[in-house]
Structure 1
């Protein structure tokens, strides 16, 4: 039969979060609390873990004490300068004494600035004992346990923004060049879909995801070992049903083949890379004919060459027929799809 057939291109896809945040502490200490439910939605800034704050509170208190001492030293140095300035002008004391007082005041002022910075650092470290989420998203399973000694190199968990979710596919360099318009597609090549082409996501169970997607970015380089480049598509993910690590297939409709000649897939046999059909000809005798196949459309197969419209082919019992053997043809009934 003949009908217009949409031409589709398909790639294996791996799903990943649109944003993936690695949650790592910024200070070293003992983990005393987990403040979130694993697998739940968290917001940016939510406290996920707490580290024992007591050493950091003590360090802050010490820094504040040292700041107070430095400020006292600065006050005394300032008074010395104030007292000795008129005495030096009256030559009641040596000028060098006033110079020493001024230098002592400058050193004391620098010590105060250093002490203030130490207080700010201690305050930050105390705040860092509350490990917070860096983004809105789904928080993963905790990798750190209460009582663990953790530090900046420790991965406690990850938070992923899943709506939308990314689907990464690897495409050939040729497809990429067609995509960006670097090469005009030949008559045999399928044009790569542009950024506006709606995409379908076929899930691992064979179902088509109900929300269409679109291409959002291409990686910065082609992998020299595989000759492919990673492309990312984005799909809306209400309810966060799709999760990072899932596999699927991204499908794009890239054109329409008009008046395509189709036969049931079961009518086509493959032998060492060539394809054949059994044609029922004059006198209902079978002729085995080589054909050139195109894309599959459901349970049908496009025949590009080797067959003309109106010819009959064997769809049941193909393995039993032989060249020149007469058969009794009956109309083929496509069995209902399973599931």
Structure 2
């Protein structure tokens, strides 16, 4: 066989192989039938249908924080002395004017009694001075005493009036100090931690706090996890 025919035979064989391969790849219905068979073996996906409802979705937030009352009052003694009693515990509800603690009132009671006695003594001296002055006015009109003596008696009345006013103020101050031995709640609220106990010394300006039971604030929150409702 000549070389020409050998080359022609090889070309014919290659053309035939290409035609057969093209036929196999592009065979009508081949790929589609395979996919259809696979789809027939897969079950349908279940679908649940519910009515559409418009509503709020609750959101819950879990975290760490501190609840702080909007209004707090620090109750402290106005006078210093030994505590006789503490009449509340932390967390107790208290009302305005309720007795929270009692300081030993004996020394304050003695000071008040002394001030009242001094006031009474000064008042008695003033009454005597006024009586002497009025009597001296009659004697002066009759010429029995000198005018200078009457002026001296009038000055005595003025001095005694000043003493009575001072002793009255001292008595009122002692009464106020005595009242401070009763530590009462200034508002309705929740009691805080007491700063002392019976037998200890209550110092002026050192006390405990309690809160108004009204609205509170949540401060310093540190979210840990959010859970949709």
TM-score normalised by length of structure 2: 0.66
Q: Which has the higher strand share?
A: 1
Q: Does 1:161 align with 2:212?
A: yes
CA distance 1:132–1:83, shift in 2 (3 Å) = same
Corresponding residue to 2:76 among 9, 18, 24: 24
Alpha-carbon shift at residue 164 of structure 1 (Å)? 1.0
Q: Does 1:99 align with 2:151?
A: yes
* In 2: Cα distance, 1:140 partner to 1:20 partner: 10
Asked if the contact 1:136/1:159 (under 8 Å) is kept, the reply is no
2:110 is matched with 58
CA distance 1:90–1:32, shift in 2 (3 Å) = same
Could you tell me which runs of 5 or more consecutive residues in structure 2 were left unpaired when the two chains were aligned: 1-63
1:120 is matched with 172
Q: Does 1:41 align with 2:82?
A: no
Aligned-residue CA RMSD in angstroms? Answer: 3.0
Asked if the contact 1:50/1:131 (under 8 Å) is kept, the reply is yes
Q: Does 1:77 align with 2:129?
A: yes
Could you tell me which runs of 5 or more consecutive residues in structure 1 were left unpaired when the two chains were aligned: 1-11, 170-201, 209-297, 299-336
* In 1: Cα distance, 2:90 partner to 2:124 partner: 50
1:129 is matched with 181
Deviations 1:108-162 (A, max 9, x none): 112112112222111111111110112111101211122222222222x111113
* In 2: Cα distance, 1:207 partner to 1:38 partner: 33
Higher relative contact order by CA 8 Å / sep ≥ 6: 1 or 2? 2
Map of 1:230-245 to 2, 5 A cutoff?
A: none
2:197 is matched with 145
Deviations 1:78-131 (A, max 9, x none): 111111112223332121111111111111112112112222111111111110
Q: Which has the higher helix share?
A: 2
* In 1: Cα distance, 2:99 partner to 2:223 partner: 35
CA distance 1:206–1:100, shift in 2 (3 Å) = farther
Between Structure 1 and Structure 2, how many residues are aligned?
170
* In 2: Cα distance, 1:106 partner to 1:32 partner: 44
